[in-house]
Structure 1
Amino acid sequence: METTSAKQDRIGARVPHDVYETLCRAAELTGATVNQFLVQSALKEAHAVIEREDVIRLSPSGWNWLLDLVENPPEPNAKLKAAISRYRKTMRDDADTPFNWEP
């Protein structure tokens, strides 16, 4: 029977001795090795950072404001009309390029 193993990479870090001692103590208190503790802690922080960047949080009033804008968008202002006009002109000018596509 053949087993497959997941590819693993190595991460190394040099830290001051007092930092190392603190990490060792924390790892011991959690029942993990220093390596396990570092990986678990770093992964937890990595997930938190990614969530902060990927998730938009709104208050209930902010959510209601956003839904109202989606359901009742305001009339386009002059800058938006100019941008739409430039976009349409660009699309017409690029009509004979091989990258022209219709959404």
Structure 2
Amino acid sequence: MGTTIAKQDRIGARVPHEVYETLCRAAELTGATVNQFLVQSALKEAQAVIEREELIRLSPRDWNWLLELMENPPKPNATLQAAIERYQEARGDDAGTSFNWKP
């Protein structure tokens, strides 16, 4: 049975000496190499950025409000009804299509 070797990529960066010393000190305090410390720190920050950009957080009050709207949507006002009709006309929808919502 063969072994699988994971592909690895290289990242390099030039930093001022003071920054390098700070990174070395922090890495030493955590028991990691500078490379390990950099990768762990960068990965943690990258995951935080992705989570911040991809997740929507709601308070319990707002979550309940959203669920209520989804379960009991209000009747469409004139503007929404006109938009639905324009959409259906643009798509050429007729009574036999799946999107033929009428209040």
TM interval, shorter chain, is 0.7 to 0.9
Bigger CA drift: 38-47 or 74-83?
74-83
Q: Which structure has the higher relative contact order (CA within 8 Å, separation 6+)? A: 2
1:17 deviation in Å? 0.9
1:21 deviation in Å? 0.6
Give the aligned partner of residue 97 of structure 1: none
Unaligned runs of 5+ in 1: 94-100
Bigger CA drift: 73-82 or 3-12?
73-82
Deviation above 3 Å: which 4+ runs of structure 1?
none
Give the aligned partner of residue 7 of structure 2: 7
Give the aligned partner of residue 24 of structure 1: 24
The residue type paired with residue 54 of structure 1 is E
Alignment of structure 1 residues 1-103 onto 2, 5 Å: 1-92=1-92
How many aligned positions are there? 97
| Structure 2 Cα separation of the partners of residues 102 and 20 of structure 1 | 61
User: Alignment partner of 1:2: what SS?
Assistant: coil
| Structure 2 Cα separation of the partners of residues 91 and 20 of structure 1 | 59
TM normalised by structure 2 equals: 0.84
User: Alignment partner of 1:14: what SS?
Assistant: coil
| Structure 1 Cα separation of the partners of residues 65 and 40 of structure 2 | 39
| Structure 2 Cα separation of the partners of residues 83 and 13 of structure 1 | 52
The residue type paired with residue 44 of structure 2 is K
**Taking every aligned residue pair, what percent have the same amino acid on both sides?**
77
Bigger CA drift: 1-10 or 40-49?
1-10
Q: 1:102 to 1:62 in 2, by over 3 A?
A: closer
User: Alignment partner of 1:37: what SS?
Assistant: helix
Q: 1:58 to 1:80 in 2, by over 3 A?
A: same
